Amino acid sequence: MVFYFYPRGYIENGKNDYMIYMGKDKYENEGLIKYGLPSDVWFHVDNMSSAHVYLRLPDGVDFRSIPESTLEDCAQLVKQNSIQGCKENDVTIVYTPWANLKKTNNMEVGQVGFYKVKEVLKTHVEKKDAVIINRLEKTKKELYPDLAAEKEAYEQNQRLASHAAANEERSALRKAKESQKKAEDLRAYKGIMKEEYMVSNEEMSAKYHTVEDFEDDFM
């Protein structure tokens, strides 16, 4: 089971929406770790046990540019879902891109490390905000997604998009070469048709008395 929440400003089926989700327990967290997407950002209470909360970003958004209201929603939610953190004030929340999560075979269930510590950011929650928590709870949905299938579909769409972009680039390059060739041919034609290389009818008549004379000279 995966819980889904929608932060402030969310519009269902919108193209630029943020979505929050988390697993029911640490065992389901394993699936979220394994089948996360590059657009996912992982949140956790620093130095405490807590739920793994994920924020799915719209395409093209950097995790350093998360809107303050959305970041606050994620931080409040992960604090609320920490047995120790929910009771304390001044809690630190760490967050990092899903791709920066490091999982090795010797780690316990739900445990993760990081590939790059410099890509782990922190935010602070002074105290619980019941208004935020209550609003998020009203948006809560419990679903049973096929995480593996969702990731495969995402990767397939990425491959198709990459293929389409490559085709478009090749087409643009081909058109550019064709335009360049036409421009070169036009310049060459204009060079041939320069006045200094052309002979007027008067000049032709003065030089050749008959067509036979011209043909003999041409031969």
The answer to whether the predicted template modeling score (pTM) of the entire model surpasses 0.85 is: no
The more confident residue out of 205 and 186 is 186
Averaged pLDDT score across all residues of the chain: 85
DSSP state letter for 157:
H
DSSP state letter for 118:
G
| Residue 22, strand partner residues | 3, 53
Residue 196 is predicted with a pLDDT of 55
Token pair for residue 167? 């085709």
Cβ atoms of 81 and 49 closer than 8 Å:
no
Q: Which residue shows structure tokens 């809107």?
A: 67
Residue 112 is predicted with a pLDDT of 93
In whole angstroms, give the CA distance from residue 75 to residue 91.
Answer: 9
Q: Under 8 Å CB-to-CB from 201, ≥6 apart: which residues? A: none
Token pair for residue 69? 């209201």
Q: Over the stretch 98-120, which tens digit does the pLDDT of each residue have? A: 999 999 989 988 889 999 999 99
